[in-house]
């Protein structure tokens, strides 16, 4: 893995403490899969940063008041009821409905800090196609992961890095953001938790730029996870193996949302110039990790 020093502009956080971190040309959608998360969804929605333009709740046949609570907290929320079971089905439905230039996905249980959406979107604005949270980078961490899950994650990560010739620090973690224009080419089909591994694997196979961003995971606010370590671990392993053979790299076409004369450096310069001009702030430095 090559460490890239990407210059990312500092932000004027204003009175609310939340910065508008993406360039004016970009819009941000957040997809939140949920099933029976009435006790948790309010906290998540209340902490969505103002930089997010659209919030999509994909409900998987909740038996509680998840939808009612979500609409009470955020009247502008887009609610999709997805009858097909599984996180992957919900994520794919959310991706299909999202209208943003960039799309982030996070869990509804309160374990992921919604404010970290900004860091993922910054990585996309700087030129990445997929930004994935990592609990194992400096600045990341978890107070929720068990010894069994940690061991399983490490084994799956080792297999993925060997098969795809990468040096990522994290694989099975669902806090991600992706450039919307890249999603159709990934041809996602996962129905369960393996959607996270499928996103990364297919992005690598398609020659997309994938970066890791530090993320801190907390414990669920309430309730229990529907993840089954052995069953879902096996599905993730099958996904990794399936997508690695036959090995081929396809180079993506230039991102169309900025036109043919805009490369990663131009996107970053636009972001910095606008912030310097409008907010009179100085560009800072941040590091994100990307694949070889």
Which DSSP string corresponds to 227-278?
--HHHHHHHHHHHHHHHHSS----PPPPPGGG-TT--HHHHHHHHHHHHHHH
User: How many Å is the Cα radius of gyration of the chain?
Assistant: 18
Distance CA 155, CA 207 (A): 24
Domains detected in the chain: 2-290 (3.90.550.10)
Q: What is the pLDDT of residue 273?
A: 56
Q: What is the pLDDT of residue 156?
A: 77
User: Please, which residues have CB within 8 angstroms of residue 168's CB and are 6 or more apart in sequence?
Assistant: 1, 132, 134, 157, 160, 161, 200, 210, 212, 289, 291
DSSP string, 119-187: HHHHHHHTT-SEEEEESSSTT-EESS--HHHHHHHHHHHHHHHHHHT---S--S---EEEEGGGHHHH-
- Element (H or E) spanning 47, and its range? none
Task: Name the stretches of the chain with pLDDT < 50.
Answer: 1-21, 247-249, 256-268, 270-271, 281-292
Q: What is the pLDDT of residue 144?
A: 67
Q: What is the pLDDT of residue 280?
A: 53
Length of the chain: 292
Q: Are strands 102-105 and 130-134 parallel, antiparallel or unpaired?
A: unpaired
In Å, how far are 17, 110, 136, 143, 207 from 244, measured between CA atoms? Answer: 43, 33, 24, 32, 13
Q: What is the pLDDT of residue 16?
A: 31
CB 99 within 8 A of CB 29: yes
Q: What is the pLDDT of residue 160?
A: 75
Query: ∠190-194-200 over CA atoms, to 5°?
Result: 95
Model pLDDT for residues 4-50, shown as the tens digit of each residue: 333 232 222 222 333 344 555 689 999 999 999 999 999 999 999 99
Output the six-digit token pair for 82. Answer: 């997805």
Distance CA 138, CA 25 (A): 31
Q: What is the pLDDT of residue 136?
A: 86
Q: Are strands 141-142 and 216-217 parallel, antiparallel or unpaired?
A: parallel
Sign of CA dihedral 38, 192, 288, 274: negative
Q: What is the pLDDT of residue 184?
A: 97
DSSP secondary structure letter of residue 11: -
């Amino acid at each position: 893995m090559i460490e890239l020093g990407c210059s990312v502009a500092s932000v004027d956080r204003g009175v609310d403490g939340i910065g508008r971190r993406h360039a004016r040309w970009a819009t941000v959608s957040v997809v939140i899969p949920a099933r029976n998360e009435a006790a948790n969804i309010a906290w998540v929605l209340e902490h969505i940063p103002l930089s997010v333009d659209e919030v999509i709740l994909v409900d998987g046949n909740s038996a509680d008041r998840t939808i009612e609570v979500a609409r009470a907290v955020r009247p502008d929320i887009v609610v999709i009821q997805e009858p097909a079971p599984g996180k992957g089905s919900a994520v794919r439905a959310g991706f299909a409905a999202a209208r943003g230039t960039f799309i982030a996905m996070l869990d509804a249980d309160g374990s992921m800090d919604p404010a970290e959406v900004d860091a993922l979107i910054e990585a996309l604005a700087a030129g990445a196609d997929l930004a994935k949270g990592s609990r194992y980078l400096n600045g990341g961490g978890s107070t929720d992961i068990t010894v069994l899950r940690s061991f399983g994650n490490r084994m799956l990560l080792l297999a993925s890095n060997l098969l795809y010739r990468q040096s990522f620090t994290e694989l099975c973690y669902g806090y991600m953001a992706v450039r919307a224009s890249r999603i159709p080419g990934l041809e996602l089909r996962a129905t369960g938790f393996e959607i996270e591994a499928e996103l990364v694997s297919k992005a690598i196979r398609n020659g997309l730029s994938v970066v890791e961003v530090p993320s801190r995971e907390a414990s669920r606010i309430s309730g229990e996870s529907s993840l089954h370590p052995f069953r879902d671990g096996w599905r993730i392993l099958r996904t990794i193996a399936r997508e690695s053979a036959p090995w081929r790299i396809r180079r993506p076409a230039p991102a169309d949302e900025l036109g043919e004369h805009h490369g990663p450096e131009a996107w970053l310069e636009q972001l910095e110039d606008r912030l310097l001009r409008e907010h009179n702030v100085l560009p800072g430095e941040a590091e994100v990790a990307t694949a070889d």
